[in-house]
Structure 1
């Protein structure tokens, strides 16, 4: 799948992994719509920097709170009206906050579902869309739970299951959309830098978590973005969970969930 002329939406797009996603999609020819609400100024700055790279208006920033179904629908509608459709959705907005775990569930899981369903209205071939691909940023913690982050691990496990189920559903009903999950290990972002303030009652396990970092290493956002590109461009990838660590990458092995309709 060539990205030239494709339209990609990235949530939580102003910093960290999402910023790297925006860069790699744009530099491979896509029109990129950046959604963020917490770092709006940074999002506009990124949009301007991308557009300046080749002198074309291929990047757009929209202020959007992913917790709001109304704002998500409005953002996707604006995207489709501006660029003629949507081909790629990167569900990347997420937080780590074991103290405010209900907010974490709302952003890491519920907002992913809201965003995916809102995108389907424009992407699904059943609705006249062009099809495409949805990649949700999960985590290695969704496959190998992180002892100091039980709710975070649960949300990431849930979005892996959601992605795999949607992939199977799409194949059966004909959405024309591939669904994949990207599962990086620890990544050098603001989320990791402020780890001690995010563990809540599990702060007592901070040292054990940092020992894991020392043992296994930390990824850069650009390394994760390269794996996003693989999941987006390789049309054979559907229902996959790609695990990425400083030691390499591999696809998680799961039992088939395809329904036997015979």
Structure 2
């Protein structure tokens, strides 16, 4: 995929990984919809991008990704603003074991919901022009996490959904590539959740274990993950791929 002049929709894009993904697209001369629940941060991010890359390249749309009506509006407004949609990055995610239903809703249900909305707009077999979906999972999708069982389960689910939908796209000639991005520990606000008992609940007692893992494996910067995100978009041979990124092995793929 040539990213120049493409239109990408990134959820959870006002900060952290989502912001890095959005900026990576802008650097490739794409246009970006910044979708986020945080109104103030989203507006600030858009203003920052306007100054850096010029006005008209981005738009900010406030949205709760768990709300189907709100997400439908985001897709409709994207088409009204830019006339097309080529890329969906399902990045929005939380870690809250005390509110585990919300964690599942944001990390998995909303991701599935947004993916299906993207299919409605992009499927070649139904009049669309194809595109690419990148679902942000985690190395937690391969390992047990005593401190975050539900977060871990949600990321396992993201991989299963991604690989299955990619196979459906291949068999059904959707013209859409669907891949998963699985970084190790990343320097974002979600990493700090391990320090909060009100978030981890009963599993707070296991926080030292994950802190030791962080010391061993290190922490990646969002810009590194953004470079890998671009690789998934630009390599047209990748569909159903599960890209892993760690400090020790760099970028590598899970072989099933």
Report the TM-score, using the length of structure 2 for normalisation. Answer: 0.96
Q: Which runs of 5+ in 1 are unaligned?
A: 255-262
SS in 1 for 2:135: strand
In the TM superposition, what whole-angstrom CA distance separates every residue of 1:57-82 from its partner, at most 9, and x where no partner exists? Answer: 11010011100111111101110121
Number of equivalenced pairs: 253
Tell me the equivalent position of 1:28: 28
Tell me the equivalent position of 1:62: 61
CA distance in 2 between partners of 1:195 and 1:115 (Å): 28
CA distance in 2 between partners of 1:86 and 1:77 (Å): 10
Check whether the contact 1:148–1:202 (CA below 8 A) recurs between aligned residues.
Answer: yes
Tell me the equivalent position of 1:224: 225
**Does structure 1 residue 122 correspond to structure 2 residue 160?**
no
Per the TM alignment, residue 121 of structure 1 is displaced from its structure 2 partner at its CA by 1.4
CA distance in 2 between partners of 1:140 and 1:130 (Å): 32
CA distance in 1 between partners of 2:103 and 2:13 (Å): 17
**114-123 or 46-55, which deviates more:** 46-55
Per the TM alignment, residue 84 of structure 1 is displaced from its structure 2 partner at its CA by 1.2
Report the TM-score, using the length of structure 1 for normalisation. Answer: 0.94
Which of these residues, 237, 240, 253, is aligned with residue 251 of structure 1? 253
In the TM superposition, what whole-angstrom CA distance separates every residue of 1:104-163 from its partner, at most 9, and x where no partner exists? Answer: 001100000111111111111133221110000000001123222111111001011101
SS in 2 for 1:135: strand
SS in 1 for 2:243: strand
CA distance in 1 between partners of 2:131 and 2:140 (Å): 27
Check whether the contact 2:34–2:59 (CA below 8 A) recurs between aligned residues.
Answer: yes
CA distance in 1 between partners of 2:126 and 2:55 (Å): 30
Per the TM alignment, residue 55 of structure 1 is displaced from its structure 2 partner at its CA by 2.5
**Equivalent runs, 1:22-171 vs 2, <5 Å:** 22-37=22-37, 39-171=38-170
Check whether the contact 1:85–1:129 (CA below 8 A) recurs between aligned residues.
Answer: no
Check whether the contact 1:170–1:178 (CA below 8 A) recurs between aligned residues.
Answer: yes
SS in 1 for 2:238: coil
Tell me the equivalent position of 1:183: 182
SS in 2 for 1:29: coil
**182-191 or 46-55, which deviates more:** 46-55
CA distance in 1 between partners of 2:193 and 2:96 (Å): 10
Tell me the equivalent position of 2:203: 202
**53-62 or 94-103, which deviates more:** 53-62
Per the TM alignment, residue 92 of structure 1 is displaced from its structure 2 partner at its CA by 0.3
